Amino acid sequence: MGRQTVIRGDDGGGDDDDVERPFSAPLPPPDSINLKDENLDEQLRPQRLADVVGQRKVVERLQILIDAARLRKDPLGHLLLDGPPGLGKTTFATVLPKELGVEVQITSGPVLTAPKDLLPYLTNGSRGSILFIDEIHRMPATVEEFIYPVMEDFRVDITLGEGLSARTINMPLEPFTVIGATTRSGMLSAPLRDRFVNRLHLDFYSVEDLTEIVTRNARKLRTEIEPAAAFELARRARATPRIANNLLHWVRDFATVKAKGHITVDVARDALRMQEVDEAGLDEQDRKYMTTLLRIFAGGPAGLQSISHSLNLPPDTLEDEVEPFLLRLGFIQRTPRGRVLTAEGLQHLGITPPDSRGAGQGQLF
């Protein structure tokens, strides 16, 4: 059974997509943050819904849900948050109880291997509390079926005994809210998905929003950063706050050693160059994928298995970690015949694309 975490509504804060994290302390002022604290990432996260940068449509809709729940004095309706990793699903799931002043318990789909693993969370919940299930698409079918009456009727059906002597006990529960987070909403069964009365999709962030996030978090880290340097990190962060924060941590370390802690645009570029993150946000593995597709497969089409063998990497690593960003940038295409480098991808590699006549008819060269 997984570890249970209870967070009580107060003036603390939280964010993003890890699971089972304890926090309860309010955010200290920037000048009192312990930079050696292992919970530093928690302290950098937003305190309130109003503190969240970006995702304005999601924030506005959540504010309506919160205000309505307060006026009716009812629990928040079950909520499903979906979107790519690192966009702040856990941010919203942990900020909401702060806004409502209720408890929240945090777990994840892979931890709930059987219905009995879910029981402690259900029986310990108070009226209006929140149960946050990260990676909810990874719950086994038996747990998923067990949670249906929980979400609809706030009751637990427990079967005692076996065969003819078996009997079912209905245990009533305090009304509460289930918040599910998923990066693959399509993997949720229709019955489970339909039990979430509210569904919100988180999209990628603009460079302007990421610049603001980097600037704020640098201030919390007591690190001086020039506006141009914050912009430099933001535009290489793949439109994802988690990546922006990771880059900020690296550049801060680099600046501490090389520039007395002050992050100028030149320091940021030198740090990112050492990390091999280019101006488009591609790292070494991304570029290796593209150059392999170009040099070994003449730009494609090439099958995923063939590319993975050439790179000595598992196909699911390429499909889940490398290809999505390259597809978003338009540097590669997935075709029925395999992966193909686009003209934009060639240009990024510093190669002039061939004549566009005959494009889509096979290999580039």
Verify whether residue 155 is a known catalytic residue.
Answer: no
The C-alpha angle 332, 334, 339, rounded to 5 degrees, equals: 65
> Annotated catalytic, 256?
no
Q: Are 346 and 299 in contact (CB under 8 A)?
A: yes
Clarify whether 286 is annotated catalytic: no
User: What is the amino acid identity at position 117?
Assistant: D
Active-site entry in 94, 107, 177, 183? 183
Beta bridge partners, 180, equal 80, 133
Question: Is there a catalytic annotation at residue 134?
Answer: yes
What phi, psi does 150 have (nearest 5°)?
Answer: -60, -45
Task: Tell me the sheet residues that pair with 201.
Answer: 82
Location of structure tokens 């050439």: 310
- H or E segment and range at residue 238: none
Alpha-carbon distances, residue 284 vs 187, 276, 289, 296 (angstroms): 31, 6, 9, 17
* Token output for 147: 């949670």
Residue with tokens 């006990």: 169
Taken as a whole, the chain contains a residue count of 365
Catalytic residue among 16, 82, 90, 236: 90
> Which 3 state secondary structure label does DSSP give 7?
strand
The single residue of 220, 238, 242, 339 carrying the catalytic annotation is: 242
Cβ-contact 87, 204 below 8 angstroms: yes
CB atoms within 10 A of CB 154: 17
Q: What are phi and psi of 108, to 5 degrees?
A: -145, 155
Q: Is residue 242 flagged as an active site residue? A: yes
Q: Are 4 and 105 in contact (CB under 8 A)?
A: yes
The catalytically annotated residue of 45, 82, 89, 182 is: 89
Task: Return d(Cα 206, Cα 199) in angstroms, integer.
Answer: 22
Active-site entry in 16, 41, 117, 134 = 134
* Signed CA dihedral, 202, 153, 102, 77: sign only: positive
Which candidate, 121, 111, 115, places its Cα nearest to that of 159?
Answer: 115
Q: Cite the active site residues.
A: 89-90, 134, 183, 242
